Amino acid sequence: MNKEFFKKNRKQFLEELNDNSITVLFSGDSPFKSADYKYRFEPNRNFYYITGFERENAIYMVLKENGKIIENFYIERQDPEMIKWIGKKPTIEESKEITGIDNIKYNDNFKEDFSRIGRVSSCCYETIYLDLEKREYNTISTKSNEFAIDIIKKYPYLTVKNVYGKIADLRVVKKPEEVELIKEAIKITKEGIYSIFKNSKEEISECELEAHFDYELRKRGIRHTAFDTIIGSGINGTILHYVENNCKIEKDSLVLLDLGAQYKLYNGDISRTFPASGKFTERQKAVYNAVLSAMKKVEATAKAGIKMADLEKVAMDELGKGCVELGLIKDKSEVRKYYFHSIGHYLGLDTHDVGTYDKVLEEGTVITNEPGIYIEEEGIGVRIEDDLLITKDGCINLSKDIIKEVEEIEEFMAENKQ
């Protein structure tokens, strides 16, 4: 992404804000993992969408007064000693090029700058917008929430408003550049899945298959997955978010994959289920095809103007019929015994991206389509997941090139076994 992308995002965002307002957004910082070791930093996705900046402890402040916009951006100051330990931080000039914001200072200036604005805010500003995410400002400790509490104490004439929803609404519909990044994440994910297919064998461990996936990503310069990889064999495949990946794979079991590459912060999210032996049993095939049938029905239904909740009804109906035919239930209304999640979610900068189930799908939205049937008593778990780009009259399956028909999987594994 270049700075023009983020400048356009900011223009849209600023149009949504009230006049005579202040907005302060924080990139965040890394929490400690243990002792003096921190987790890898991940920028607040709303902050990134507005600024394009990926480093911690950055601050974006914008003043909107009588229609006039004044943008300020604050970054960490270089510490000559720390350069020897962790490398250089972006300079002011480099930060200008990344964000497209001209007025950039070091973040040790922010407190003084805001205090000066705060002193005159009673006559000039009425509202301060903060990204409090989906929570109230006093429910969890984040920079934004701590700042909100401080504002209420020091500047009671400023009304604190949560701007999370405004930015989230902008993120729901993907711009063409974003779709291309998601497609690239899916393309890389495909290579990792195929490597798992090729290297699967009796008694291999789930984590060794995970290593094959990770290697394909690293080989292509991708260090991070979209989420913790799920590789569940046998009964483990009936656990929705199984991430231990520490069991040996038995010969005749099914293996459920739910995984994705993260490419330039955008995510792929794909599920495939395959037979460890390379060939489905008749029972496994019947369960698999029931899930695949529901998946195809949902894909055929998805289009702009309907809701995720509508797609859920389609999935429930089709999976219910399938479970009746499989002898699992007597009436399709009992389907929740074997299908206990939702049909999908929005996809983008977050794997479970912004967007709500009751919102009408718009052209340019990317969602997942992931029906499943989980039969714990038989040790059979099947989930198949594709990523769909919603269009005016239907959808484009962004992951259609990743094989999923029974015959395709069996043929691929027979021809490509390592």
Q: Which H helix or E strand runs over 168?
A: helix 164-172
pLDDT in tens, 28-80: 999 889 988 889 999 999 999 999 999 999 999 999 998 899 999 999 999 99
| pLDDT of res. 121 | 72
CATH of region 173-416:
3.90.230.10
Given CA atoms 100, 102, 106, 112 in this order, what sign does their dihedral have?
negative
**Distance separating alpha carbons of residues 89 and 175, to the nearest angstrom:** 29
| pLDDT of res. 140 | 61
How many C-beta neighbours within 10 Å does residue 360 have? 11
| pLDDT of res. 136 | 54
Predicted TM-score (pTM) of the model is 0.96
SS3 category, 271: strand
**Distance separating alpha carbons of residues 389 and 391, to the nearest angstrom:** 6
pLDDT in tens, 356-415: 888 999 999 999 999 999 999 999 999 999 999 999 999 999 999 999 999 999 999 999
Domain ranges of the chain: 3-171, 173-416
Summarize the confidence of residues 198-221 as an average pLDDT: 96
pLDDT in tens, 321-368: 999 999 999 999 999 999 999 999 999 999 999 998 889 999 999 999
| CATH superfamily assigned to domain 3-171 | Creatinase/prolidase N-terminal domain (3.40.350.10)
